[in-house]
Every structure is written in C-alpha cells, then in structure tokens.
Amino acid sequence: MSKVWSVVEPKFQREFNPMETYQVLTHNKLVWWSWGVNPKTITNFSDKCLVFKPNGRFFKGFVCVTLGWDDVYQVHFVSNTYKLKESIDGVYFDMLVDVIDRFVETH
C-alpha cells in the first residue's frame, strides 16, 4: 500500500477524518458491496488519504480519496501497476459515491 501512497502523495493537500468519509462511502450498502471492496485493503494513511481496492466491473486498482484545501474531495484511481489512471478534483461529499461508482462500475 505504501507504493499507492507514493503515487498520490504529490496531490495531497490537507489532513481529514477518513472515518467520516468511510461512512459516506458505505451509507448505501448496495453500491459499496457492488464494488467488491476487500476489507483488508481499506487503509488510512495518517489522516491524509483513504485507500481501498475495489473489484469492480471496469476498475480493479486502488481508489484513493484525499481532501483539498477547499474542503472538496479529490479521487485518484491508481492501477495495480501503481500508475495514476485518473484524478478527479472538486468532488463534493454528496457526489463522492456516484463519482467512484461511475469509474469502477461503468467507465
């Protein structure tokens, strides 16, 4: 997992409470379960990044969620070969699940 952090670290802006973000992501259990997240892969990098590994229909790499200076999320998709596939900035908390779901399941 530290290799994932090394890919995302340059985009890090500020610390946050990943537990609150986890609650947002898991609020709709059906969507969360559809991603096929292995619970062993859910990692908090010192309140800087929430990382998990979905086994979705179209994306099976790592999803990294960070918080920007403007209090909106940044979602980074990192491949299994530790290459940054895409970063999406300006994601409000109520859009977070939809943004990730689109990339993991329908992209």
What's the confidence (pLDDT) of residue 74?
98
pLDDT at 1 over 80: no
- Per DSSP, the chain holds a count of helices (H) and strands (E) of 4, 5
pLDDT confidence bin for 107, thresholds 50/70/90? confident
3-state secondary structure of 96: helix
What's the confidence (pLDDT) of residue 2?
82
- Tell me the whole-structure pTM to 2 decimals: 0.94
Number of Cβ atoms within 10 Å of the Cβ of 103: 20
- Cβ–Cβ under 8 Å, residues 71 and 81: no
Across 3-16, average pLDDT: 92
Across 16-43, average pLDDT: 96
pLDDT at 9 over 80: yes
How does 55-84 read in b/e, with b if 16+ C-beta sit within 10 Å? ebeebebbbbbbbbeeeebbbbbbeeeeeb
Nearest to 54 by CA among 38, 70, 75, 72: 38
What's the confidence (pLDDT) of residue 62?
97
pLDDT tens digits for range 30-80: 999 999 999 999 999 999 999 999 999 999 999 999 999 999 999 999 999
